[in-house]
Amino acid sequence: MSKMNTMQANNNLLTSIDDIMDAKYGKEGTSERESFRKEAYAYYMGQILHDVRKSEKVTQQELASRIGANKSYISKIERMAILSRR
């Protein structure tokens, strides 16, 4: 098989990420897709908070005190227990 024919055959096997997302989480604008988006955003923000807090060597309690929250709130965000309201 020539290189061009191999490339064309491989292209037929490719699936776009949009098709995968639509199949797994619903089409954009659906409640299923919006629910996934919120969960993914909450995970992402929790991970950023955790990583920055650790890199700055700040405990959850210290961070909570600095922002006027309690430690359990910081923990919930980092564990993705609090979903984005957006």
DSSP state of 29: T
* 43 in Cβ contact with 80 (< 8 Å): yes
pLDDT tens, position by position, 24-78: 999 999 999 999 999 999 999 999 999 999 999 999 999 999 999 999 999 999 9
pLDDT tens, position by position, 2-16: 655 555 656 677 889
Question: And the tokens for 14?
Answer: 């490719």
pTM of the model: 0.68
